[in-house]
Amino acid sequence: MDALMASREFSFMTDYSACRKRSTDLCSHVEIEDLVVQPTPEVSPIKWHLAHTTWFFEELILAKHLKGYVRYNERYGELFNSYYNALGPHWIQSGRGTQSRPTVSEIIKYRNHVDKCIEILLNTSDINGEVYFLMELGINHEEQHQELMLMDIKYILSRNAVRANYYEGPIPTSKRSIQGWRRFGEGVYFVGNESPEFSFDNENPRHKTYLYPFEISSSLVTNGEYLEFLNSRAYSNPRFWLSLGWEWVQKNQIRNPLYWIRQEGAWLEFTLHGVRPIDLNSPVVHVSYFEADAFARWKDMRLPTEQEFEVFLGSESWPAVECEGTILHPVDPNAVRRQVWCWTKSPYVSYPNFESFQGALEEYNGKFMCNQFVLKGGCFATPEGHYRDSYRNFYLPEQRWIFSGIRLAKDPK
């Protein structure tokens, strides 16, 4: 691991700085007011993300490893701790949007201060393996929040009565999906991370699993296909829904994917590029597990398990998704990876012989292994270099402000 560390030593500050810059760059398209509000408890104010990711470096690295470090502001610990009980009390999540202070510019100062101290720390000669690990984790953690920031910005802008676009560039028209099925045989397969590079605890250890024959679609479910489901009045038919899903549909009057808008007989969609008519060939996005599961049942198919999905991913070469310019929306129904996170039918549980990160980081992943479902495959907003086939994303079955879509599976007859 020493050689690895040596090479990392040089690149860390570059990676770190690039990562940190990307977070503030994400805010450059919007106004201060957009960084403050919290329109629903699960969406955090963008300025909170900027501060929380900074606190993560301060609390887990500087406070412990930079000699003599004094925390920037004693109140920030409570405000910007997300949920780590081992690291002290934390502000209630739904109350993040009540805090006008610290202001955005104060948070930027906080970021700069921490960046400077991280640089000092990394320039110290005697950096140990734990710091390297924490730096990698901190960067990966901030990358996770960058995707969250885009999810949250989209939600925040969508709630405004006075509409504003995040990004002005156009979204290219999608090509038609090429329908097809990939078939896999029965047997013992390996799943889980196998790389020596950074990975989260929950992707480990790599292990064997027994799979029965399955087929998985080579394309993502499109808006057009989903519209058929919707037009068949499936949202009014309990038959297709899990019991909790049907309750959710009725209680929240769910009638379509999160950002779809019915206007004068047409379906429009709120995107980070503004409102536009839905593109029937684009992958459907912003559906809940309940909707994905109901769609599959309506099709007389099912969602893949996460193991099946990972086996499928492992069998596909890495396509070069060529994007000219920035496209903040899924457009390619035939892409294997990094378009929309695909719901699997697998509840999020630990792998056999799972060992969580140690200390406070024990709380990073393991304690959420209840009532969540795994999503696989990455999305367009997942930062470059952050994605792995063994990556396990996880959300509650009713959540859909994620960039989530559907890839179907079925049992061969």
Per CB under 8 A, 257 contacts its own copies: no
Burial class (CB in 10 A: 0-12, 13-18, 19+), 353: exposed
Among the listed residues 8, 29, 69, 99, the single contact to its own copies using CB under 8 A:
99
| Interacting positions 146-165 with its own copies (CB under 8 A) | 156-157, 159-164
Considering only residues 47 to 76 of the shown chain, the ones binding its own copies according to CB under 8 A are 47, 73, 75-76
* Residues 285, 403 contacting (CB under 8 angstroms): yes
DSSP 8-state secondary structure symbol assigned to residue 302 = B
Which amino acid is present at 284? V
Answer for which of 19, 50, 61, 79 binds its own copies (CB under 8 A) is 79
352 counts as binding its own copies under rule CB under 8 A: yes
Q: CB of 281 within 8 A of CB of 333?
A: yes
Nearest to 268 by CA among 227, 302, 238, 303: 227
Give the list of residues 6+ apart from residue 365 with CB closer than 8 angstroms, or none. Answer: 200, 201, 202, 356, 357
Based on the shown chain and the rule CB under 8 A, indicate whether residue 193 belongs to the binding site for its own copies.
no
Write the burial class of residue 138 (CB in 10 Å: 0-12 exposed, 13-18 middle, 19+ buried).
buried
Indicate the pairing of strand 393-395 with strand 207-211: unpaired
Laid out side by side, the sheet with 393-395 consists of: 393-395, 373-376, 341-347, 404-405
Among 174, 282, 334, 346, which residue interacts with its own copies (rule: CB under 8 A)? Answer: 346
> Which of 120/164 has CB closer to its own copies?
164
Binding to its own copies by residue 98, rule CB under 8 A?
yes
Helix (H) or strand (E) holding 262: strand 260-263
63 touches 89 (CB < 8 A): no
- Indicate whether 246 belongs to the interface with its own copies (CB under 8 A): yes
DSSP 62: I
**According to the binding rule CB under 8 A, does residue 208 interact with its own copies?**
yes
Which is nearer to its own copies, 104 or 331 (by Cβ)?
A: 104
72 to 76, 80, 82, 216, 405: CA distances (angstroms): 8, 12, 17, 51, 41
**Do the bridges between strand 341-347 and strand 404-405 make them parallel or antiparallel, or are there none, so unpaired?**
parallel
Choice from 26, 27, 36, 258 touching its own copies (CB under 8 A): 36
CB of 50 to its own copies, least distance (A): 13
Which residue of 8, 13, 91, 140 would you call a contact of its own copies, by CB under 8 A? 91
> Is the Cβ–Cβ distance between 364 and 200 less than 8 Å?
yes
Q: Among 67, 68, 101, 251, which residue sits at the site for its own copies (rule: CB under 8 A)?
A: 101
Residues in 272-291 that interact with its own copies by CB under 8 A: 289
Nearer Cβ to its own copies, position 184 or 380?
Answer: 184
**The binder of its own copies chosen from 50, 62, 87, 104 (CB under 8 A):** 104
How far is 301 from 22, CA to CA, in rounded Å? 40
> What is the smallest separation between the CB atom of 373 and its own copies, expressed in angstroms?
8
Rounded least distance, CB 265 to its own copies, Å? 21
Q: Which residue among 3, 320, 370, 384 contacts its own copies (CB under 8 A)?
A: 370
Smallest gap, in angstroms, from Cβ of residue 107 to its own copies? 10
Shorter beta-carbon distance to its own copies: residue 16 or 343:
343
Of the pair 98, 326, the CB lying nearest its own copies is at 98
CA–CA dist 304, 87 (Å, integer): 37
Pick the closer one to its own copies by CB: 8 or 206.
Answer: 206
Closest approach of its own copies to the CB of residue 354, in Å: 9
Q: Which residue has the tokens 């990698």?
A: 136
Name the minimum Å distance from CB 112 to its own copies. 17
Residue 55 or 380: the one with the smaller Cβ distance to its own copies is 55
Residues forming the site for its own copies (CB under 8 A):
31-34, 36-40, 47, 73, 75-76, 78-79, 83, 85-86, 91, 95, 97-104, 156-157, 159-164, 188, 207-212, 238-239, 241-246, 289, 345-347, 349-350, 352-353, 362, 367-371, 397, 411
